[in-house]
């Protein structure tokens, strides 16, 4: 698979494949298909504050970049930017993240996030009588989630267990994978809820509302249904 770490700018459409940057065996899509979750916001917000919120939230919750490790200040598998004649910025950056769920050494989570920001220009907004610098434009997130069944790779390496892979999967691991997928889904639901909360978007929550731990730097011009 093409490495996203190349420095040359290539057609961004070629980069929108929802997979980790390196080949990973035995990946199962969390919701059974390759259609990503999408969140779109178009109005006034602080793009730097949004970036920092996203990274801090994911880092606190155990996500990291497998190649860069936990010490890197950035997670970009790819970053691209262009500026039009009026000075508006169009920005792409892609994250390819991994997480080891506690208590399940034979299962791993993968999270792919594509950011696409359009028409980003500087602006100012008045909040509580104070003038703040911000940005105006649109941001769209596409999110893919996968569970890796690591135990299958381990079984197939063993001459005796390899023929029994499917049997063990069906009788031993299926329930464990189902439970982990359920937990991962709930984690993603909470994550996307925080994103929408940060943007002050309207949500329909079947679960308990989450306390706003992260200050929002989004300033919708008017309330509207998302």
* 50-107 tens-digit pLDDT: 999 999 999 999 999 877 665 566 788 888 999 999 999 999 999 999 999 887 777 8
pTM: 0.78
Position 176 confidence tier, pLDDT thresholds 50, 70, 90: confident
Per-residue confidence (pLDDT) for residue 106, from 0 to 100: 78
Q: Which two tokens stand for residue 25?
A: 């065996």
Per-residue confidence (pLDDT) for residue 165, from 0 to 100: 55
Of 86 and 223, which is predicted with more confidence? 86
CA dihedral of 186, 190, 191, 196, whole degrees rounded to 10: 140
Mean pLDDT taken over the chain: 78
């Amino acid at each position: 698979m093409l490495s996203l770490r190349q420095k040359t700018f290539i057609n961004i459409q070629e980069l929108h494949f929802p997979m980790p940057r390196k080949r990973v065996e035995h990946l199962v899509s969390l919701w059974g298909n390759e259609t990503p979750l999408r969140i779109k916001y178009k109005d006034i917000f602080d793009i730097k504050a949004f970036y920092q919120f996203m990274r801090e939230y994911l880092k606190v919750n155990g996500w990291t970049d497998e190649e860069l490790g936990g010490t890197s200040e950035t997670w970009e598998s790819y970053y691209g930017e262009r500026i039009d004649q009026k000075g508006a910025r169009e920005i792409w950056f892609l994250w390819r993240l991994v997480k080891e769920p506690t208590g399940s050494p034979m299962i791993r989570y993968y999270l792919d996030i594509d950011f696409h920001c359009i028409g980003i220009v500087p602006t100012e907004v008045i909040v509580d009588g104070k003038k703040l610098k911000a940005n105006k434009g649109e941001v769209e997130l596409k999110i893919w989630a996968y569970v890796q069944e690591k135990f299958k790779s381990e079984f197939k390496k063993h001459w005796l267990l390899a023929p029994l892979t499917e049997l063990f999967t069906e009788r031993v691991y299926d329930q464990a994978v189902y439970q982990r997928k359920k937990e991962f889904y709930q984690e993603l639901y909470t994550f996307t809820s925080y994103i929408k909360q940060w943007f002050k978007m309207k949500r329909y929550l079947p679960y308990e509302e989450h306390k706003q731990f992260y200050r929002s730097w989004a300033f919708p011009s008017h309330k509207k249904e998302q």
